[in-house]
Amino acid sequence: MERAEMVREYLRVLGLDAHECDFALLNELVARHVATFAFSSVGSLLGEDLPLDFESLYQRIVVDRRGGYCFQHNGLMYGVLEELGFSPTLYLARVIYNQDVHPGLTHRISMVEHAGQKYVLDVGFGPLGPRIVVPMPATEAKDGEKIFRIAQRRPGEYHVEVFKDEVFFSLYRFELARYGQSDCELGHFYSHRHPEATFVNHLVVSLLLERETRSLRDLEYSVITQSGTCTRAVRDSGQLRQLLVGEFGCQVTEDESRCLFDMLAT
């Protein structure tokens, strides 16, 4: 299947018509992607091969519904944006969660320029990520009850921030350096192979819907709405599979669910 055909099917699954490549389409791409295709570390926990070429990403995320994390979701989105003529730029980022630390470049994002304004598109950050494109820099963008912005805290250092507990909280930071696919392969290899990597040790799954965020962290399932958070424990592999398939649309077999549950329970 040619990339153009894969992109047409991707758009069909999201219920989108790309006859006008405008700002509204950019926002809809982000909102519908994060509400349809699960952020998921299932593949990393199961030790699967996770290639980053566009066809493999399309097969895994759109066809097989196995989910993925930033290098997969944002890699797929990058190819879609290219095919639609948006000319995206790839950047890598450091996940810091409001700390003054210097971790590795283990997050991937895309930037596009439209009508003279630059925007960050990120469909691979999980439950704390935006459902909208975020303008670059400084302008606040409202996503339901959430507010996002990109702040330049030091010269050349940009932070993607969310308004949390009455202050802006930095999720990750990036610099406008030149990156390529080889850089992604390095960060991706660490994220799904290193014995201390988060996705190798924890089950992290999420969907960002318009009115709620569904989040699974190991054996704890949460539904986050404007009125609060409802959390319950996952008691067995059958319940785990029901959540993965029924609540997240992440397709796993009974054997895989048992394997995941046994790893997490011990």
Active site residue 184: no
Active-site residue, from 107, 159, 188, 192: 107
Would you call 250 a catalytic residue per the annotation?
A: no
Q: Which one of the listed residues 19, 33, 64, 70 is annotated catalytic?
A: 70
Active-site residue 21, yes or no? no
Compute how many other C-beta atoms are within 10 angstroms of the C-beta atom of residue 130: 23
Contact 161, 143 (CB under 8 A): no
Give dist(CA 117, CA 139) in Å, integer: 11
Active-site residue (options: 21, 53, 100, 122): 122
Helices (H), the chain: 3-14, 23-36, 42-45, 54-58, 70-84, 181-193, 198-201, 237-242, 254-265
C-alpha to C-alpha distance for 184 and 51, rounded to whole angstroms: 11
Burial class (CB in 10 A: 0-12, 13-18, 19+), 261: buried
Question: Which residues on neighbouring strands pair with residue 9, listed in sequence order?
Answer: none
Query: In angstroms, rounded to a whole number, what is the distance separating the alpha carbons of residues 55 and 104?
Result: 27
CA–CA distances in Å: residue 26 to residues 34, 36, 80, 111, 115: 13, 16, 11, 11, 12
* Three-state DSSP state, 222: strand
Cβ distance 159 to 172 under 8 Å? yes
By annotation, the residues acting in catalysis are 70, 107, 122
